[in-house]
């Protein structure tokens, strides 16, 4: 997630100091993204070094205010209007856990998939129940609704994936296909054994 681009995007609307930037980003993402204040300041320093933001003086409390330079504004616009590359998320914890589980003897993968389906369905219920109570006509709720919908669709996608792999596992078992469950021979390469 680009802290740098998000800071630039907020600064295209006017001058802000560091803490204010943190609050703006948090409220504009439906409270779903809380950035460490230290990260905000260090990013501002790098942006200033790269000529994308500049200091606009200090306020009464002595806080430095920043604004986007012309180059910074162009970069923010580019970020806001371009698609991001699909994230492979190949190391998604659940996928990795299931991939490992099918190779480890004694793991009840079917039970694991089932437990995950129930858990994800409950999460989907909670998200939906919360969304039900939100006033759809309140513009202040819009950022939260957008993020909530993403989480809802992600839950749905995960449930469809889990249902699909349940079938895959059942078919594999029916055909007697079992991944190699034994440890492979240690590679000869690597650090030599210490000798005293």
Partner 1 sequence: MSKVLLELIDVQKTYGTGENEVHALRGASLQVKAGELVAIMGASGSGKSTLLTIAGGLEVPTTGDVRVLDSSLPTLKPTQLATLRRQTIGYVFQDFNLIPSLTVIENVALPLELDGMKVRKARKAALDALVSMEIGELANRFPDEISGGQRQRVAIARSFVGPRQVLLADEPTGALDSKTSEAVIRALRKRIDAGIAGVLVTHDAKLAAWADRILVIRDGQIVEEISNNITPEQFGA
Among 128, 134, 164, 181, binds partner 1 (CB under 8 A): 128
3-state secondary structure string across 96-139? HHHHHHCCCCCCCHHHHHHHHHHHHHHHHHHHHHHHHCCCCCCH
Considering only the stretches 10-18, 63-71, 99-107, 115-123, report the one whose residues sit in contact with partner 1 under the rule CB under 8 A: 115-123
Minimum distance of partner 1 from residue 49's CB (angstroms)? 37
**β-strand partners of 17:** 65
- How deeply is 38 buried, as exposed, middle or buried, from its count of CB atoms within 10 A (0-12, 13-18, 19+)? exposed
Q: Decide if residue 138 touches partner 1 (CB under 8 A).
A: no
Q: Decide if residue 53 touches partner 1 (CB under 8 A).
A: no
Among 115, 118, 170, 173, binds partner 1 (CB under 8 A): 118
Q: Decide if residue 147 touches partner 1 (CB under 8 A).
A: no
The tokens for 9 are 């995007």
Strand pairing report for 16-17 and 53-58:
unpaired
Q: Decide if residue 151 touches partner 1 (CB under 8 A).
A: yes
User: Would you tell me which residues interact with partner 1 (CB under 8 A)?
Assistant: 118-119, 121-130, 132, 151-153, 155-156, 159-160
């Amino acid at each position: 997630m680009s802290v740098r681009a998000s800071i630039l995007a907020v600064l295209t609307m006017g001058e802000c100091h560091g803490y204010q930037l943190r609050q703006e980003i948090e409220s504009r993402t439906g409270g779903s993204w809380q950035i460490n204040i230290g990260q905000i300041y260090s990013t501002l320093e790098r942006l200033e070094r790269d000529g994308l933001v500049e200091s606009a003086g200090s306020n009464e409390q002595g806080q430095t205010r920043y604004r986007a330079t012309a180059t910074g504004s162009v970069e923010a616009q580019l970020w806001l209007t371009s698609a991001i590359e699909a994230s492979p998320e190949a190391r998604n914890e659940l996928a990795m856990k299931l991939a490992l589980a099918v190779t480890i003897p004694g793991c009840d993968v079917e039970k694991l998939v089932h437990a995950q389906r129930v858990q994800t369905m409950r999460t989907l219920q909670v998200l939906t129940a919360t969304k039900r109570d939100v006033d759809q006509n309140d513009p202040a709720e819009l950022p939260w609704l957008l993020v909530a919908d993403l989480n809802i669709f992600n839950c749905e996608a995960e449930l469809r994936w889990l249902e699909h792999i349940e079938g895959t596992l059942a078919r594999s078992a029916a055909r007697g296909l079992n991944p190699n469950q034994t440890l492979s021979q240690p590679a000869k390469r690597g650090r030599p054994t210490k000798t005293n």
